[in-house]
Amino acid sequence: MAETSNTDRLRRRRPTSHERESGRPWDESYSDGPAPWDIGRPQPAIAELIVEGVFAGDVLDAGCGTGEHALAIASAGGHVLGVDVAETALAMARAKAVERDLDVEFAAADALELHDLDRAFDTVLDCGLFHTFDAQERPRYVGSLASVTKQGGRLHVLCFSDEGENLGPHPVSRNALEAAFSADRGWRVVTIEASEIQTRFRAEGLPAWRAAIVRL
């Protein structure tokens, strides 16, 4: 019954700004071949963090897509839940977990309503999700992340940057990132560093920010 109720809520949710602009729901991004952001492996900037061992304790991968980051964290010994609204992507992620013999949990969830999970995590990953929300949606998303991040827990964000050439879609300024995760919203930004996000169409990478943020 709970699963049915969650499915119904996801079907009734209002499309995000990205979905409205693109004219298609997230799930359709995976229906006719790999999505532009699905490079078939972890983003190098996230792979570095996995090697460094930053994904400790219970880990949430928000907007996990087809699961490459969640699977890589699990292969390094992490306990991971990957969530997404795209059921097609989740089915692919679950199939990969079986194929690779990895114990990873994947579930359908709205990133703007993560409190519905009724769980708390030590470490949270947002790879390529934050920048898809517009200025009106970001406070709600940040609050949603806060509802599932333990006090003292760490959030790692990789999002498109507005600095450099050949910018990705929905680029974010450093100031906007800092403002979104301010102390009055329950966060402290530890570091923001220049990085890159690879896509299927640009393997050399597009300008990005990689941020480490602590839940107060």
216 residues of the chain, pLDDT tens digit each: 445 456 666 667 776 766 667 667 778 888 888 888 999 999 999 999 999 999 999 999 999 999 999 999 999 999 999 999 999 999 999 999 999 999 999 999 999 999 999 999 999 999 999 999 999 999 999 999 999 999 999 999 999 999 998 899 899 999 999 999 999 999 999 999 999 999 998 768 999 999 999 999
Domain spanning 2-215: CATH 3.90.1150.10: no
Under the phi-then-psi rule, with left for phi > 0, alpha for psi from -120 to 50, and beta for the rest, what region is 130? alpha
Question: For 48-175, where are the E strands, in sequence order?
Answer: 58-62, 79-84, 105-108, 121-127, 149-160
- For the chain, what percentages of helix, strand and coil (3-state, to nearest 5) are there? 40, 30, 30
What's the pTM value of the predicted model, to 2 decimals? 0.92
Burial of 186 (0-12, 13-18, 19+ CB in 10 A): middle
Tell me the two tokens of residue 194. Answer: 């220049």
Note the pLDDT of residue 4. Answer: 47
Note the pLDDT of residue 11. Answer: 64
Note the pLDDT of residue 21. Answer: 72
* 8 Å CB contact between 49 and 69: no
Note the pLDDT of residue 34. Answer: 86
* 8 Å CB contact between 177 and 119: no
pLDDT digits (tens, 9 = 90+) for 166-181: 899 899 999 999 999 9
pLDDT digits (tens, 9 = 90+) for 28-57: 888 888 888 999 999 999 999 999 999 999
Note the pLDDT of residue 29. Answer: 85
Note the pLDDT of residue 85. Answer: 94
* 8 Å CB contact between 156 and 94: no
